[in-house]
Amino acid sequence: MNHIPIVLIISLFSHAFLTPLLKKKFRSLYIFSLALYSLLLFLTGKTFFYVESMGPIRYWIGGWIPPIGIELYADKLSVFMATLFLSCALLILVSFESFKYEIGEEKAAYYFMLVSILIGAMLGIIFTRDLFNLYVFVEITTIAACGIISIKNEKKAVEAALKYFILSSIASTSILLGLILIYNIGGYLHYDTLKSVLLESKDVFPKIISGSLVLIISGFSLKSALFPLHIWLPDAHSAAPTTSSALLSGLVIKVYVFAIIRLLNDVFGLMYTYTSILLEVLLALGNVGVFSGAVLAGFQNDIKRRLAYSSVSQMGYVFLGLGFNNQYGFEGALLQVLNHALAKSGLFLAAGWMVKFTGTRDIKGLEKISDKLPLTALCFSVCAMSLVGMPFTLGFLSKWHLAMAAIESGRPLQLIFIILSALLTLSYYFPIIVKAFTGDKSFERKLEFEKIKGGSLISILIFTFVIMFLGIYPKFLLKYLLQNMF
């Protein structure tokens, strides 16, 4: 069981190497990929319960003991995130057969290769305990993300990928400069060792440590689309193929939030004065992000762009939770990560199918689509309501924890803001839902109706079911997942 972290990463990178060999056999490639992801998800699930009972797993690559060697570390938080990423990736890949027309079957092998590289690098970010390896995996993630955007080979997709690459390169430079400053002070790259050194040096090099912290967090904030560093996200998420949009919005921007949480807790620590100041800044930007993203989403007539701007708003809640700097806040941030990953993946898949059927991305063209795609429209509505924070959905649980965090931190105005922001979210999702179930459209269009394929519908239904199940029966989530998570 101790080898699971390295097995997961190597398996995905090996899969990426093998997929081009099956580029002329899509069915075999599809089945092989789903089987591998299912196996890795099973192993990750077993690892979670092992960590729950036996404690964290520490794997030293090559047997070299830190701080000289590289360590992979699997605790409840990292295994939880790995399980979330693998399960969402599996369901999104299940849907790929329905949306392969956007890419072309001849490119499917290269697409699966990029996705495996992407997920493997994200698991590397999750499990690594070394700053340099963190940076390497971040760069791999960035390049793979550019690939799954531009593989569509349309002008808008290529432009979006280029914009994402340029801004991500700026973010990566910021992160690297911060890491260099930290290394010059500590002389180590291992998290635990570096934390001890920084604790002893905080009074000697306060400005350098605070400067490196700002550089690193700024870089990761840009990559995770914290307002006003979000300018790459709307184009990238809306121009990418449907499955890529689901991966980018549901998973990729979350892994950088995980990196921030890890660095704040395990390297810099939360006891420093300048860390507290930074958290106040994150709280302020989170508030602005929630409001601005929601307002901008309301002005979008393109359904994919509305979902993209919604991600800016929803990620603001995550930083809001981190900024509260208390147990409820961290739990609310984690629940929001989980809720947004599930809901936004389901929303992009449902929206992608509605766009394929209607032939338009204009929200006005979705009138009465429930007549032909009733389950898709219903699932879209449930996922949207979860992002609003309606009762009996997972989103209500995340908003509740954020509200409790506001009360515990003595910020009553924040509580009012969370309630008002939920209403603002409702204001841009509700018109889509109304149009989907009402209107006069007869659907006598040039595009003939094609029955929704099982894989896509199954994925959308599972995302919706999990959101509802965890909202109605949150005991498992709260007892086994959040207990002693931080």
* pLDDT number for residue 122: 92
Distance CA 303, CA 227 (A): 21
Distance CA 257, CA 220 (A): 7
Residue 67: cis peptide before it, omega within 30 degrees of 0: yes
Domain that holds residue 274: 4-481
DSSP string for residues in 406-417: HHHTT-HHHHHH
Nearest Cα to Cα of residue 41 among 75, 91, 2: 91
Residues 373-410 have pLDDT tens digits of 888 888 998 999 999 888 888 888 888 888 888 888 78
Residue 118 located in a structural domain: yes
* Mean pLDDT calculated for residue range 72-78: 86
Count of CB atoms within 10 A of residue 459's CB?
26
Is there a contact between 252 and 141 (Cβ–Cβ < 8 Å)? yes
Q: What proportion of the chain, given as a percentage, has pLDDT over 90? A: 9
- First-to-last alpha carbon distance for the chain, in angstroms, is 22
Given a cut of 50, is residue 3 above it in pLDDT? Answer: yes
Task: Name the domain count of the chain.
Answer: 1
Residues 325-379 have pLDDT tens digits of 788 888 888 888 889 999 998 888 888 888 887 777 778 878 778 777 888 888 9
Residues 177-216 have pLDDT tens digits of 988 888 888 777 888 888 887 777 766 777 787 788 888 8
Nearest Cα to Cα of residue 481 among 340, 341, 330: 330
Instruction: For residue 56, give the DSSP letter.
Output: -
pLDDT higher at 443 or 233: 233
Query: Is 0.85 surpassed by the pTM of this model?
Result: yes
Beta strands 71-74 and 57-60, pairing class: antiparallel
Q: Per mean pLDDT, which of 222-226, 284-288, 462-466 is the most reliable?
A: 462-466
* Mean pLDDT calculated for residue range 130-157: 87
Distance CA 30, CA 112 (A): 9
Given a cut of 90, is residue 117 above it in pLDDT? Answer: yes
* pLDDT number for residue 440: 65
Distance CA 107, CA 24 (A): 10
Given a cut of 50, is residue 445 above it in pLDDT? Answer: no
* pLDDT number for residue 447: 44
* pLDDT number for residue 410: 80
Residues 259-290 have pLDDT tens digits of 888 888 888 775 455 566 777 787 888 888 88
Is there a contact between 176 and 135 (Cβ–Cβ < 8 Å)? yes
Residue 433 located in a structural domain: yes
For residue 162, report the phi and psi dihedrals to the nearest 5 degrees.
Answer: -65, -45
Q: Alpha helices, DSSP H only, in 240-302?
A: 242-247, 253-263, 273-298
Which stretch of 7-21, 140-154, 261-275 has the lowest confidence by average pLDDT?
A: 261-275
pLDDT higher at 63 or 459: 459
Provide the token pair at 9: 């990463």
Residue 486 located in a structural domain: no
Count of CB atoms within 10 A of residue 39's CB?
11
Q: What proportion of the chain, given as a percentage, has pLDDT over 70? A: 93
pLDDT higher at 59 or 177: 177
Nearest Cα to Cα of residue 111 among 40, 232, 26, 235: 26
Query: Residue for token digits 């921030």?
Result: 260
* Mean pLDDT calculated for residue range 136-156: 86
Given a cut of 80, is residue 99 above it in pLDDT? Answer: no
Is there a contact between 161 and 138 (Cβ–Cβ < 8 Å)? no
Is there a contact between 90 and 446 (Cβ–Cβ < 8 Å)? no
Instruction: For residue 86, give the DSSP letter.
Output: H
pLDDT higher at 83 or 102: 83
Given a cut of 50, is residue 449 above it in pLDDT? Answer: no
* pLDDT number for residue 118: 92
